[in-house]
Amino acid sequence: MTTTTAAPDRAATRAERGGFSDLLHAEWTKFRTVRGWVTGMAVAALVTVLIGLLSAAGSHTSCNGRPCHFFYPVGPGGEAVTDSFYFVHRPLAGNGSITARMTSLTGLLPTASGGRVRAGQGPRSGMHPGLEPWSKAGIIIKESTRQGSAYAAMMVTGGHGVRMQYDYTQDAAGLPGAVTTASPRWLRLTRAGDTVTGYDSADGRHWTLVGTATLPGLSSTVQAGLFATSPAYSVTTAQGLLGMSGTGGPTLATGVLDRVSLRGGRPAAAWSGTAIGGGPTAASPVQGGGYHLAGGTFTVTGSGDIAPDTPGGAGPGQTLDRTLAGAFAGLIAVVVVGTMFITAEYRRGLIRTTFAASPRRGRVLAAKAIVIGSVTFAAALVAAVVAVPLSSRVLRDNGNYLYPVTPLTEVRLVAGTAAVLAVAAVLALAIGALLRRSAVAVTVVIVAIVLPYFISVTNLLPAGADQWLMRLVPAAALSIQQTIPNYPQVSNVCSVGSGCYPLVPWAGFAVLCAWAAAALGLAVFLVRRRDA
Amino acid sequence: MTVAPDEPRAPTRPAAPTAGTGLRDALHAEWTKLRTAPGTFWLVFAVVALTVAVSSAAAAAARCPATGCGQDPTKVSLTGIYLGQVAVAMVAVLAMSSEYSSGMIRTTLAAMPHRITVLAAKAALLTGLMLAAGALAVLGSLLAGRLILPGHGFTVAHGFAALSLADGPVLRAAAGSVLYLALIALLSLGAATAVRDSAVAIGLVLGLLYLFPIVAGVISDPHLQRHLQQIAPMTAGLEIQATTGLRSLPISPWAGLGVLAAWAGAALLAGGLLLRLRDA
């Protein structure tokens, strides 16, 4: 008895499995035999490449009519960095430590009326006292005085308390609060091999571990000492269609440190002061930096930053996602095709034949989603694989500086963009099945994806509102194109126009997937209940 | 005997008025179709509702902490046009393409063989409808702005008078925004007539509207960027809303609306030509 009941079951499952691959085959046949849809996909791929090329060709950077020679230091992790500060240092051979007590951090900001520090007026005219939140001064152990070399530093900041930062991207919090003569901050860095450990203390006796930095391949002789630096100040004064205008300028920070002690091998006994990145070609030149030593008390003044370089900051660099600006045009074409893949069946009455041939309607929708998703992914992948190298070459030939990215990030940019288009096509299919009217469905999907991006890029809404918008709507998925991460230790205006999204890449993509899944689920539910 | 010569004339009499009132009949027929289509009422309602809702939200989100905050209160309170125009485009696209999807177009053209008259009637009706809906939407938005904005720092102390249509630039922005919506309807009608399919037409129109500013945003060459802004139907057309900083605009307000009118005219021309030349 058991064998006779088992046999039909197995046959049935085999038939079902065959059924689904038949369904996929049927849907694929439908897709490839409609000339308009195939053309639509080709158009999507083509406009993605062409608009990327057009925007690359239209972006020139030149310095007084000649091509610029940018020098951007690159950090140990391969990212572009800013490395400009005033460094009071001496060599440290082998293992050892540096300890100092910091009693004051003050600074100068440009005047609020947009008074940039002009060359002819002397470095400090038109400035008033004040600190940037990420103005910093403290102690540092650095591979060398070369820009972009590995380092670990303990510092007091203008608005974020004591921090330990290393290798540009890493940041850990220590004691909170501001530093005063009454409540000084003791800082210590200990080097053992490739490891540098940071401690802080309020009294110089009870030390707390702040962080441990591993700096691979650190030389046996490094530079240890004191530093001060302060990032450029900027404030948005007006925003409107296509861009914001802001005002700002370089700032200065001055740290006062005493009880400086250096333990370990000391090949040379004298302190020397170096303005790191202080040349005339630097993006944020050190203005009026220097140091003063009197009775064991160091007063160090510097300007610049030790941090990852991010778009929208001082540099004129472009991000790699610019090369895929055409993906929006491709997206619109893909949404039209994705919607028509189901609405055309309703319009022509083919849907009745389809459902008569395979009565399990949920599976029909699943097969359609798989076909349109795969086709879109393939077309968009080809477009992105062509567009990114081609447009970045044109951008570089036009004298632009492109922020370096890791190969993994580049793969994420290319494959992620293709995936966004594929999921958008599935979303369009689902909305098409829900609404059954092409025009309404296409409009809904385009409004959900392109309009919020447009609103963010053109700053139609205040900054807070458009950041929330870009967290909730399907357009959040475009964060997969962000190539330079958001660093909390860099105060920067994070705007979608400069390639900075409020959500991390995969979280943003998950928002779109959630919308698509919900729409598809609802579509399956309704298509099952409704008459075709 | 006097009756006899009238006999052969009788059939020609109805024919003569038909030629004369062709447009009036066409208008009546098109109005009946537009009025009785299931989506029209809701879409026209959506034009007004979306515009006023988004404008109010933008006004509620706007802040002007001090004098010289660089905001344009008229423009802020007309932000909803960016979404309202989408519903306008849908009404206009569906007015033509739904006839193609249902096959109705063959009946229409059999009844009215002069095809340009059909297109002209649709254009005239849509213009009238959108002028009416647009006026409601714009007045509602400005009223919302007038009520909300003074509470958010747009006060006389910060250099902003309350929004009033008696103010020349505000009146220009308001009237221009209504005309803008009507021109978007004509552009969409032309595009729908040219490509026939509703999904393709709406994709084309929305792409045309939104892609220009997005592409202009990623181009760093200021000259090329300015040129793109000057020829983009939405960016140029909506300069009509600007009441402050007129000198820094890429194109003057009325010239900008003229650019959109040129786009709409070109779309109608292309649609009209294709309608005449093609089989239905």
- B170 burial (CB, 10 Å; 0-12 / 13-18 / 19+) is buried
Residue type, A250: P
Position A187 scores a pLDDT of: 93
Both tokens of A499, joined, read 């390639």
pLDDT at A124: 52
- pLDDT category of residue A6 using cuts at 50, 70 and 90: very low
Q: How confident is the model at residue A65 (pLDDT cuts 50, 70, 90)?
A: low
Predicted pLDDT of residue B4? 47
3-state DSSP of A165-225: EECCCEEEECCCCCCCCCCCEEEEEEEECCEEEEEEECCCCCCEEEEEEECCCCCCEEEEE
Which chain A residues have a beta carbon less than 8 Å from that of B216?
A: 242
Tokens standing for B96? 């033509």
Per the prediction, chain A carries an average pLDDT of: 83
A293-307, A353-367, A451-465, B166-180: which range is least confident on average? A451-465
What would the mean pLDDT of A306-313 be, rounded to a whole number? 74
Predicted complex: ipTM over 0.85 = no
Single-letter amino acid code for the residue at B6: D
Question: Is there a contact between A59 and B213 if contact means CB atoms under 8 Å apart?
Answer: no
- How many CB pairs below 8 Å do chains A and B form together? 134
Q: Residues A471-503: pLDDT tens digits?
A: 888 988 888 888 888 787 887 666 777 777 888
Chain A residues 232-271 with a CB less than 8 Å from chain B:
237-243, 245
- Residue B210 and residue A451: Cβ atoms within 8 Å? yes
Q: What is the pLDDT of residue B127?
A: 94
Which chain B residues contact residue A465 at CB under 8 A? Answer: 61
CB-count exposure of residue A86 (10 Å: 0-12, 13-18, 19+)? buried
- A322 or B89, which is more confident? B89
B219 close to A (CB below 8 A): yes
Compute the distance between CA of residue A373 and CA of residue A22 in angstroms, rounded to an integer. Answer: 17
**Alpha-carbon Rg for chain A in angstroms:** 29
Which chain A residues are closer than 8 Å to B62 by Cβ? 462
Q: Which of residues 158-187 of B touch A (CB under 8 A)?
A: none
Q: What is the rounded CA–CA span in Å between residue A472 and residue A484?
A: 21
To the nearest whole Å, the CA of A36 is away from the closest chain B CA by 10
Max Cα separation, chain A? 101
Instruction: Give me the amino acid identity at B113.
Output: P
Residues A523, A516: Cα–Cα separation, whole Å: 10
- pLDDT confidence band for A204 (50 / 70 / 90): confident
Spatial distance between the Cα atoms of A238 and B64, rounded to a whole number of angstroms:
10
Q: How far apart are CA A464 and CA B66, in angstroms?
A: 19
Closest Cα to residue A146, out of A83, A70, A213, A216?
Answer: A83
Residue B259 has pLDDT above 90, yes or no: yes
Pick the more confident residue, A69 or B60: B60
Interface-testing mutation among A39, A41, A49, A55, with chain B (most B C-beta atoms within 10 A): A55
Does residue B8 register a pLDDT over 60? no
In this predicted structure, what is the pLDDT of residue A244?
47
Is B47 in the A-facing interface, judged by CB distances under 8 Å?
Answer: no
pLDDT at B86: 93
Q: Which residues contact B227 (CB under 8 A, 6 or more apart)?
A: none
Establish if B252 touches chain A: CB-CB under 8 angstroms. no
Percent of chain B past pLDDT 70, that is, above it, reads 90
Among the listed residues A79, A59, A71, the one whose alpha carbon sits nearest the alpha carbon of residue A399:
A59
Of B89, B101, B201, nearest to A347 by CB-CB distance is: B101
Q: Averaging pLDDT over each range in A204-208, A377-381, B239-243, which range is the top one?
A: A377-381
CA distance A223 to A141: 6
Cβ separation B214–A59 shorter than 8 A: no
Residues of A in contact with B185 (CB under 8 A): none
Tell me the CA distances in angstroms from A78 to A169, A294, A405, B170, one per residue in order: 11, 40, 7, 53
Report which DSSP code applies to A279. Answer: S
End-to-end, the C-alpha distance of chain A in Å comes to 41
β-strand pairing of A297-302 with A290-294 = antiparallel
Nearest Cβ partner for A443 among B68, B86, B224: B86
Using an 8 Å Cβ cutoff, are B279 and B115 in contact? no
Chain A contact for B222, CB < 8 A? no
Q: Which residues of A touch B225 (CB under 8 A)?
A: 58, 242
Is the pLDDT confidence value at A515 over 70?
A: yes
Note whether B162 and B150 are within 8 A (CB): yes
If you average pLDDT over every residue of chain B, what do you get? 84
A268: confidence class by pLDDT, cuts 50, 70, 90: low
What is the reported pLDDT for B25? Answer: 83
The pTM of the full predicted model, rounded to 2 decimals, is: 0.83
Q: Cβ–Cβ of A55/B218 closer than 8 Å? A: yes
Question: How many other CB atoms sit within 10 Å of the CB of residue B161?
Answer: 12
pLDDT tens string A270-285: 888 888 876 544 444 4
Residue appearing with tokens 């046009």: B81
**Nearest CB to B213; choose among A61, A242, A440:** A242
| Whether the predicted pLDDT of A205 surpasses 60 | yes
Q: Are A421 and A327 in contact (CB under 8 A)?
A: yes
Tell me the pLDDT tens digit for each residue of A229-242.
Answer: 988 776 654 444 43
Quick check: A3 pLDDT over 60? no
Sequence-distant (≥ 6) Cβ neighbours of residue B59 within 8 angstroms = B76, B77, B79, B144, B145, B148, B149, B152
Find, among A405, A96, A149, A137, the residue nearest to A257 by Cα. Answer: A137
User: Given CB atoms, is A400 within the 8 Å cutoff of chain B?
Assistant: yes
Question: How far B276 CA lies from chain A's nearest CA (Å)?
Answer: 22
Q: Which residues of A fall within a CB distance of 8 Å from B211?
A: 51, 328-329, 332
CA–CA gap between residue A30 and residue A35 (Å, rounded): 10
Contacts of A437 (CB under 8 A, 6+ apart): A343, B39, B198
